[in-house]
Structure 1
Amino acid sequence: MNAGGENTGARVTGGADESRGESTSTRLDYVVPTGGSSIHLVPSASGMRHPLDRRNRLRRASWKLVLRRSWNDFISDALMDRAAVLAFFMFLTAAPTVLAAYSIATLIFARNREQVTDLTQEAIGKYVPGEIADEVRSVVEVIVGSAAGGTRALILAVVIGLFSSSAWVRAFSRSANFIYGRVEGRSILSTWVTMWGITVVMVVGAVTIIGASLLRESVVLAVFEPIAHPLGLVDELNFLTSIFLPIWRWIRVPVILVIALTLVAVLYYFAPNVRPRRFRWLTLGSAVAVCCVGITWWLLGMYLRYFAGASAYGAIGTLIAVIIACWVMNIILVVGVKLDAEVLRAKELQVGYNSERHIQAPSRATVAARKYVHNQCTLEQQARELKRTSSKDESHPE
């Protein structure tokens, strides 16, 4: 029986204590573990203590379990291979992501499109080695060439670019579901819309981070000076240039850090088919991911600035360094999900959930999971039928 009462032939296992005995008329939350045909019931939110209660802090033994399981599953589940797949999708979606980001920036600064171009050229000159800077500029110009039209063309470029860029987010969602040990329960339409929404947030956040890192007086003057006098905002412009920007130099890094933590928190919360019952702005996994990705990005920048030109491989060496850096960053993001999953498991164990094998957090949806179970049961039934008929043929040869 499935959770809705339909007979699928699936084996049902309980995640809550058997003594709790919920009524069959109550709607049951359940998950479908990865690679199986069983339905795993999870305890209701009202029946047990909330595992993410602030008072439910991890004990020393729980921390040991988190680290031990994270390391063991990192090796046995080949998470480095999954990160390599994510790195592939990252390169596959690089062009549409650049197009979407450039189009969004151009829409925001519709009256100062030349400033967007200048900032793009400045970013290339700052972060790309000189011997390949011209090639990178040519590639970027080709990518953003379709964004040179009017507002409608820009909006269309944003929509198409973000839809194509969401391939990486969908791949990340599949990896996150595997780490949490469950199949995707959302329908294809729901999954794609959700992943597209996450992509919008990620790209807008990336544009904001880039803009924050490049914000300076010349940018403020180029954007606001043409409209300051007609709108009578001269005092506000003076405030921005004389008071805000000097303070901004000191708070730039903390603001960028907060934005990055928010983006990772959104990715970790909405991508997997997991409903942990409370959104967390800061988690162990997101903090580790942001810090380690920042270090990796800094090391890549140091290599590009000081060692890329001296490499015997030239431009190929730079490309190899970028590929390795993207792979490492995806490994870090996957490890962050794993840490959050194991922390959630440990907190569930501390309040009495049977989370030894399966994390008990309910799924966001079960539509696709029910179809998955039905298909698995059908395949198993066909396999048993094949085995039975083959046995009869063997026992009654002609």
Structure 2
Amino acid sequence: MPVSTMEHADEANVGRAPGRETESPMKIPLRGWWQIARRVFSRFASENLGLVAAGVGFYSLLGLFPAIAALVTTYDLVFDPTQIQQQFESLRALLPEQVYELISGQLASAADSQHQTLGFGLAGALLLSFWGATRGTRALIIALNVAYDEPEERNIVVLNLFAFGLTLFLVVVVALAIVLIVAVPIIINLVSLGTLPEVLAAWLRWPLMALVLVLALAILYRFGPSRRAPRWRWLPVGSAVAGVLWLAASGLFSFYVANFGAYNATYGSLGAVIVLLLWLYLAALAVILGACVNAETERQTARDSTVGAPRPRGKRGAEVADRLPGERGSRRATPGQGVKDR
């Protein structure tokens, strides 16, 4: 079939699939969501996303302990770093016991050594900690490019600086979550003057933490991939899916390890490290699947889902915005294409 004929046929079919003309994921009908779910599961199998998540989990393990040092050092500049370990206790039910003990020990060790005033020595150590933590962040950026079908078009200097800034952002998010755990019950009790039950004050912080998590994931999905940024309205669904999957997988994995897993018997002293690596793998898989949900949601519509004035398909600087389901463009084959269109 000639190219012009194919283009006319494609334009004629644009409005036929459910959700093709929608400008918001909230308006996609159920049949459209069924198609999106099928494509996500198909991509999980055909693109080896589980293997990609394993790579992210491995590099996250390498960057975790420098990230803990950066977190405690940053927290120490404003608050008492020993509070981190105390409030980390609240997450014990969601984590496998080996993961909790390993991270808790690292938090305690870092807190004991971080009672310093800000100076060149501390600033240098903080920069080194952040730089060490970027290994996991760079792997996550690559995984997001895979989820959004994008080549990496940022040069090595820009990519590393971006990964450094993203690592700083994630550390600040974790520090903010810790502040919420500490501060929300105190503020509620002060405002309520004792009339609000303490149990409500204790539980209200969790929805706030969930909101922070979803917002952090949305920012990660918007700025992480090498593409023209999507509009904010196309990000909450995948962020919520990733958050729910992350929490559910953590709880189920914790239950499995506590009741059925025999990692210490199998791996000996490495059992805790193996459990931590598996938990990081599940977390990475949840984040990647959330990105795939967002990507396939954008692909469901023929409308421009990217920021700025609407552009025709093929000129939007984003594979999932430029190509309908079943189409394969040239952005992945020729990495230099599309930069000028962003």
TM-score surpassing 0.5? yes
Matched residues in 2 for 1:131 and 1:203: separation? Answer: 22
Q: 2:289 aligns with which of 331, 335, 350?
A: 335
More displaced, 202-211 or 250-259?
Answer: 202-211
Cα 1:330–1:189 shift into 2, 3 Å: same
Distance in 1 (CA, whole Å) between partners of 2:111 and 2:204 is 31
Task: Note the C-alpha offset of 1:143.
Answer: 4.6
What is the aligned counterpart of 1:346 among 272, 291, 300? Answer: 300
Q: Deviation at 1:71?
A: 1.6
Give the unaligned 5+ runs of structure 1: 1-12, 20-49, 222-235, 363-368, 375-398
Match of 1:104 in 2: 74
Matched letter for residue 202 of structure 2? R
Cα deviation for residue 360 of structure 1 reads 3.2
Task: Please state whether the residue corresponding to 1:360 is helix, strand or coil.
Answer: helix
Taking a change above 3 Å as real, the CA distance of residues 202 and 241 of structure 1, as seen in their structure-2 partners, is: farther
Partner of 2:168: 200
Residues 169/290 of structure 1: CA separation in 2 closer, same or farther (3 Å cut): same
Distance 1:132 1:328 in 2: 13
**Distance across 2 between alignment mates of 1:151 and 1:181:** 43
Q: Is the 8 A contact 1:84 1:327 kept in 2?
A: yes
Q: Out of 285, 289, 311, which is 2:238 matched to? A: 285
Partners of 2:143 and 2:247 lie apart in 1 by 22
Does residue 275 of the first structure (1) align with residue 242 of the second (2)? no
Residue equivalent to 1:209: 177
Task: Give me the whole-angstrom Cα distance separating, in 1, the residues matched to 2:259 and 2:180.
Answer: 25
Q: Give the aligned partner of residue 180 of structure 1.
A: 148
Deviation by residue 1:228-252 (Cα, 9 ceiling, x = unmatched): xxxxxxxx99548846893532411
> How far, CA to CA, are the matches of 2:250 and 2:149 in structure 1?
30
> Given residue 151 of structure 1, which amino acid in structure 2 is its aligned partner?
L
Q: AA paired with 2:116?
A: G
Q: Which residue of 1 aligns with 2:214?
A: 261
Moved more, 135-144 or 167-176: 135-144
Cα distance, 1:203 vs structure 2: 1.2
TM-superposed CA distance for 1:205, in Å, is 1.0
**CA displacement 1:69-127 (0-9 Å, x = unmatched):** 21221111100010000001110101111011101111121xxx3xx225416636973
Distance 1:268 1:292 in 2: 16
User: TM-score, length-normalised on structure 1?
Assistant: 0.62
Distance 1:180 1:132 in 2: 31
148 and 244 in structure 1: CA distance in 2 versus 1, 3 angstrom threshold: farther
RMSD over equivalenced CA pairs, Å: 4.4
Counterpart CA distance in 2 for 1:123 and 1:169 is 22
Q: Quick one: which amino acid aligns to residue 74 of structure 2?
A: I
The 8 Å contact of residues 52 and 347 in structure 1, kept in 2 or not, is answered as yes
- Alpha-carbon spacing, 1:166–1:310, altered in 2? closer, same or farther (3 Å): closer
- Contact kept? 1:162, 1:199, Cα under 8 Å: yes
Output the amino acid matched with 1:94.
Answer: L
Matched, 1:117 2:82: yes
Could you tell me how far apart the structure 2 residues matched to 1:122 and 1:137 are?
10
Alignment of 1:131-210 (within 5 A): 139-140=106-107, 142-143=109-110, 147-152=114-119, 153-210=121-178
- Residues 216 and 245 of structure 1 are in contact (CA less than 8 Å); yes or no, is this contact kept in structure 2? no
Q: What TM-score do you get using the length of structure 2 for normalisation? A: 0.71
CA separation of 1:77 and 1:132: change in aligned 2, threshold 3 A: closer
Displacement after TM superposition at 1:191 (Å): 2.4
Q: Tell me, yes or no, if the aligned pair for 1:260 and 1:290 is still in contact at 8 Å.
A: yes
1:360 maps to: 321
Q: Aligned in 2, Cα 1:350/1:140: closer, same or farther, shift over 3 Å?
A: closer
Letter aligned with residue 261 of structure 1: V
Could you say which residue in structure 1 is the equivalent of 2:40? 70
Instruction: Name the residue aligned to 2:13.
Output: none
How far apart, CA to CA, are the structure 2 residues paired with 1:324 and 1:117? Answer: 28
Q: CA deviation at 1:320?
A: 2.8
SS across alignment from 2:226 = coil
State the shift of 1:142 in Å: 4.9
| Contact 1:100–1:158 under 8 Å retained in 2 | yes
Identity between Structure 1 and Structure 2 (%):
20
What CA distance in whole angstroms lies between the structure 2 residues aligned with 1:75 and 1:132?
28
